[in-house]
Structure 1
Amino acid sequence: MTEQLQKTGNGRLATYEEAREWIEGLVPFGIRPGMERINRLMSAFNHPERRLKFIHVAGTNGKGSVCAYLTSVLLRCGYDVGTYTSPYITKFTNRFRYNGSDIPEETLLQLSNELKPHVEAIAATELGSPSMFEVSTALAILYYATVSYPDFVVWETGLGGRLDVTNIVTPIVSVITNVGHDHMDILGDTIADVTREKAGIIKPGVPVISAVSQSEAIDIIASTAKSRNSSLYLLGDKFSETAIEVRENEQTFRFNGLFRPIEPLTITLNGAHQRTNAAVAVMTLEIMRQYYALIMEDDDLREGLRDAAWPGRLEMVTQSPRVLVDGAHNPEGAETLAAALRDTYRYERLHLMIGMLSNKNHPDTLRHILPLVDTLVVTEPDFRKAMSAGVLAEIVQGMREQLGRHFELIVEPNWKQALERLQTLTGEADLAVVTGTLYLIADVRSQLLYNKESEKGW
C-alpha cells in the first residue's frame, strides 16, 4: 500500500483506469467502520451532502432490489435520480448511476483528482488513509451534489448502518429491508447486535420503513424509532402484499397499505422475497407521496415496478442450457434461492455451482441448497478472500453424510473450467445455477453475456 501511495504521490491521475486503480488500491485498508474520515472529507468540500434528498436503504438482503424498484419508479415519474449501490457486477462505474446510466469515465477521473489530495492529507494524520468505500462514497456525493444534481438519491449502505460511511447523510426517509446472519464478524454475534447497527440509520423525525421479521429485531427497530420521534411503517403492521399470480419471470400482487390498497402490481424479478422488496419500495414511495409531495401516478408506479431489473439476483442469463445466477452469499439468501427453486422454476435435474468467500457462514448457507441438488460443482471465486474449493468440498461431504443425500460432487478450483463442466452437464430439461459470492457471479455473468473479463471490487 505504501508503494501505491508513493507511486501516485501528489501527481494527478491521467486516465479513468488510473483513477479506478487508485481507488481500488485502497482496498487493503479494509473495512473500517467509523465516521471520522468521511466527515473530514466532506468538511473539505463544505458538506455537499446536505444539499441532497436521500432515500437511505439498509438491510442484510434485498437492499439492491429495493433500490432498483425505487429508482425505476421515480424515473418513470419524471424525476432525476442518482443511485449509489455496491458491490458492482460488471464495471466500477456501476456504483454511481444517474438516471439509469453509469457515471462517465471522464467525470469519475475529474472527481478522483479533486478528492486525491484530501485523501492523502488524511492518510498522513492519526486517522490513517480513507478506505476504498469511504473514497467511493465521497465521490458519489460529489457527483450528485456538484455535477448531476438529481431530485432524489437512492442511497444504499455498504455494511451495517450506524458506523457505515453512508450514514453521514440525513435522508428524507430511511429503509431497513431485513436483518440476517451476515458480516457478524464486524456487526456483532447476534441478530439483536446486527439490528442495532442497522437501526443506526434512523434519524430524528425521519420516517422509517422496514420488513424485519424477528421479534427481537422488531423490538429494537421500534424502540429506536420511538426514541428518535420517527414514524415506523412495518411490514405486517402498516403494509403487506398478497400474491395474485406467480409464474417464472412475472409476479402479480396486491399492495395493502396504510393509506390505500393498490392492485394489480406486477414485477418481473423472481422469488417471493421480491414481492416483499417491491412492497417495501411501494410503502416508501407512498410515504414520500403523502409527506413530501411526490407526484406519482398509479400507471407510473405500475410501469416502474415492471421495468425494474437487478442483475445477478435470480437472473436467467442463458437459455440453452438454462443458467440462472444468484448471489446467495449468506444463509438468508440461500433460503430465498431454495424457495424460488422449489416454487418458481421447473426442471428435471438441478446442477449447482458455488464459490464462496472464507469469512461466510458456510454450513448454514449450504443446508438450504444441498437437499435440492443433483450435482454440486464447488469452485473458487477469483478474489483475495476466496475460500479454497477443497475446504468447501470437505464441509459439503460432511453435510452430505449427515443429510443422507446422494448427489454428485465435483471439485474444480478454476471457475472457468467449473462453468464449462456445469454447462456440459445441463440438459435441455435441466437447470444450472451459479451461486455464492457476487465476485463469482460477476465473473460468470460477464463470461456468459460479454465473453470478457469483468472489473471487480467491493
Structure 2
Amino acid sequence: MTGCEGEALEVVQSQAAREFAQLWRLGQEIKVESTPRGWDGHVLSVTGPGFAHGDLRLRLVGDYQPSNAALAVAAAHLLDDVPEDAIREGLASTRWPGRLQVIAEGPRVVLDGGHNPAAMVKAGAALRRLIGSEKLVAVFAMLSERDPVQLLGALRTLSPDAVVFTEPASAHGHAISAETLASVYGPGANVARPARTALDQARGLAGASGNVLVCGSLYLVGEVLSLTDLRVST
C-alpha cells in the first residue's frame, strides 16, 4: 500500500511485481474524496478493495491529511476486519500535536513541526488557504544540521508579514544563531530570545486579529507547546 507518486511509485510498483505482491495505490485502488471544513478539518469518503466509508470526520487541518487518513483506513482493512464504528471513532479522535495545531486565539497561534522544505511549503500553503490575507507573523528556528537557504526559501513561500528568529534552549547549542538566520532572511526579520520572548513579540506584531506560526524546528514547537499559560483553543 502506498501514497507515492512519480519515480517513487515506479520503484514501489517494480518491487511489488518482483515479489508478486498485491499493491494498493492511493488514487487508484484507494480513493478519497474530501470536503474541507476550515479549522474543523474535513469530511471524507474513502473507498478501496472490499470497503467503502462515507461521512467520515477528520479533525486534522491541512489538505494533505485526507490522503493520510485514506491510507490509514486502507491499512486497517489490510490488517484486520475493522468495524465501521472503529474507523469512524479512530479518525474523529485523531490528534497530531505540532502539525498545524492551534493552541491559542487572539492572535491565533499555530504550531507546525515540519522541518524540511517540502513539509514547510505544504503546511504553509494549507495555512494560507485557511487564513487568506490575514496578517501572519512567523516564529522560526532551525538546527545547524539543515540548510538555512533552502528552509528559509520555503518560509518565504508563506509570505509572512514579519519573522521573529530565535533559538530553542532544548537544542543545546545545535541551533543556528538567530542573528545568522535574520541576516540570511533579510527585510522583515527580527531577533528575540528565549522562545517565550520571541512568541510574545510575534503576538504583538500580529495583533489580536492576526496569526502567529511557530515553525522550523520540533524543538521550538515543543518548547512553545509546553507554555501552559497560553489560552488553549478547543
Give TM-score scaled by structure 2 length. Answer: 0.89
What residue is the counterpart of 1:392 in the other structure?
181
The answer to whether the aligner puts 1:313 opposite 2:99 as a matched pair is: yes
1:361 to 124, 147, 156: 147
Show CA shifts across 1:164-213 (max 9, x none).
xxxxxxxxxxxxxxxxxxxxxxxxxxxxxxxxxxxxxxxxxxxxx21112
What residue is the counterpart of 1:438 in the other structure?
218
Judging changes above 3 Å, is the alpha-carbon distance between structure 1 residues 373 and 448 closer, same or farther for their aligned structure 2 residues? farther
Higher helix share: 1
The answer to whether the aligner puts 1:328 opposite 2:114 as a matched pair is: yes
What residue is the counterpart of 1:301 in the other structure?
87
What residue is the counterpart of 1:422 in the other structure?
202
AA in 1 matched with 2:207: G
Kindly indicate whether the alpha-carbon contact (under 8 Å) linking 1:312 and 1:327 is maintained by their aligned counterparts in 2: yes
Counterpart CA distance in 2 for 1:361 and 1:243 is: 35
What residue is the counterpart of 2:76 in the other structure?
285
What residue is the counterpart of 2:128 in the other structure?
342
2:29 to 227, 230, 238: 238
Show CA shifts across 1:397-433 (max 9, x none).
2xxxxxxxxx621022432221121122232210111
Kindly indicate whether the alpha-carbon contact (under 8 Å) linking 1:352 and 1:377 is maintained by their aligned counterparts in 2: yes
AA in 2 matched with 1:396: Y
What residue is the counterpart of 2:167 in the other structure?
380
When the two chains are superposed, the root-mean-square deviation of aligned CA atoms in Å is 2.1
Calculate percent identity across the aligned residue pairs.
Answer: 30
Judging changes above 3 Å, is the alpha-carbon distance between structure 1 residues 311 and 449 closer, same or farther for their aligned structure 2 residues? farther
| 1:347 to partner: Cα distance | 5.9
What residue is the counterpart of 1:254 in the other structure?
45
Q: Counterparts of 1:82-231 in structure 2 under 5 Å? A: 209-213=1-5, 215-231=6-22
List runs of 5+ in structure 2 lacking aligned partners. none
The 10-residue stretch of structure 1 (241-250 or 302-311) with the greater mean CA deviation from structure 2: 241-250
2:189 to 409, 426, 442: 409
Structure with larger Rg? 1
| 1:346 to partner: Cα distance | 4.8
Q: Counterparts of 1:259-278 in structure 2 under 5 Å? A: 259-278=50-69
RCO comparison, higher one (Cα < 8 Å, 6+) = 2
Q: 4+ runs of 1 displaced by more than 6 Å?
A: none
Judging changes above 3 Å, is the alpha-carbon distance between structure 1 residues 449 and 269 closer, same or farther for their aligned structure 2 residues? farther
Counterpart CA distance in 2 for 1:271 and 1:448 is: 25
